[in-house]
């Protein structure tokens, strides 16, 4: 049975249910504004990447704050050509990271990519039976039942965030009178990076691009920072409308 279609008529939830029930093995490719490749083995999720802007393992671990800037530079200068599997082994053998720390970042990245699919309202898809990623990639096994449940929650959250933050081209600034103290709030590395960028002239869209955040991720982060009163949206000033006065004769 071939799987070819568009998300307008066949949702991500329906696709994943079918792959799970049929215990399919292969790669699902979905193209919209970007192209996503999701691999399955016997009905379970094992890998996912964006073909555009794919993060190698070292950059992924750096983005998650598990590698320092210095460590990333050393890796890039000494072992930039290594595969993700080889890089993972090197980091474990060197005592820099434990295997579970690496797998945690990989699993989180795979889930972020796949859950974004649930926010897509359109996109052509096709399933290549038996086609799997190269063994050079770090893979994990994730049950699709939990993916589908989380995906439905993300779809509903995405709809709400679009209503609350419809404009991605607004600027942010750190709150002049924050309602919360920074020392009382535990921020993730990504939230810190958005906070730091908030006092620049960059828009939400530009901050997202610079930090490799999806539209969903940047909206979720900004909404959270707004809720605790750490940032504010800079509204463009309204220009006064000139009033023409006609001379009466």
Same domain membership, residue 127 and residue 46: yes
Same domain membership, residue 176 and residue 140: no
Same domain membership, residue 188 and residue 146: no
- Give Cα separations from 11 to 15, 42, 56, 82, 243 (angstroms): 6, 21, 29, 37, 53
Same domain membership, residue 58 and residue 155: yes
Q: Is residue 241 part of a domain?
A: no
Higher pLDDT, 28 or 184: 28
Residue identified by tokens 């994990």 is 140
Which residue among 120, 138, 161 closes a domain?
161
Q: What does the block give as tokens for 20? A: 């799970």
Residue 241: its pLDDT value, please?
A: 53
Domains in the chain, number: 2
Distance of alpha carbon 16 from alpha carbon 14, whole angstroms: 6
| pLDDT tops 70 at residue 244 | no
Label residue 98 by pLDDT band (50, 70, 90): very high
Same domain membership, residue 156 and residue 46: yes
Same domain membership, residue 150 and residue 78: yes
Q: Is residue 240 part of a domain?
A: no
Which residue among 134, 161, 188 closes a domain?
161
Q: Over the stretch 101-157, which tens digit does the pLDDT of each residue have?
A: 999 999 999 999 999 999 998 999 999 999 999 999 999 999 999 999 999 999 999
pTM of the full structure:
0.82
């Amino acid at each position: 049975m071939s799987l070819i279609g568009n998300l307008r008529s066949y949702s991500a939830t329906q696709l994943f249910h079918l792959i799970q029930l049929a215990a399919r093995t292969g790669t699902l490719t979905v193209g919209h504004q970007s192209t996503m490749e999701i691999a399955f083995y016997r009905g379970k999720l094992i890998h996912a990447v964006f073909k555009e802007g794919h993060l190698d393992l070292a950059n992924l671990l750096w983005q998650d704050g598990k590698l320092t800037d210095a460590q990333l530079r050393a890796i890039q200068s000494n072992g930039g050509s290594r595969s993700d599997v080889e890089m993972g082994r090197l980091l474990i053998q060197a005592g820099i990271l434990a295997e579970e720390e690496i797998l945690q970042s990989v699993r989180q990245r795979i889930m972020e990519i796949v859950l974004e699919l649930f926010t897509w309202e359109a996109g052509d898809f096709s399933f290549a039976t038996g086609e799997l990623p190269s063994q050079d990639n770090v893979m994990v096994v994730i049950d699709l039942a939990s993916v589908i449940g989380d995906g439905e929650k993300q779809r509903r959250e995405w709809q709400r965030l679009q209503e609350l933050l419809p404009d991605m081209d607004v600027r942010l600034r750190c709150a002049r009178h924050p309602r919360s103290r920074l020392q009382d709030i535990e921020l993730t590395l990504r939230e810190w990076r958005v906070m730091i960028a908030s006092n620049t002239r960059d828009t939400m869209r530009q901050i997202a691009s610079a930090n490799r955040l999806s539209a969903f991720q940047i909206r979720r982060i900004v909404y959270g920072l707004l809720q605790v009163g750490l940032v504010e949206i800079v509204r463009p000033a309204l220009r006064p409308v000139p009033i023409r006065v006609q001379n009466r004769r």
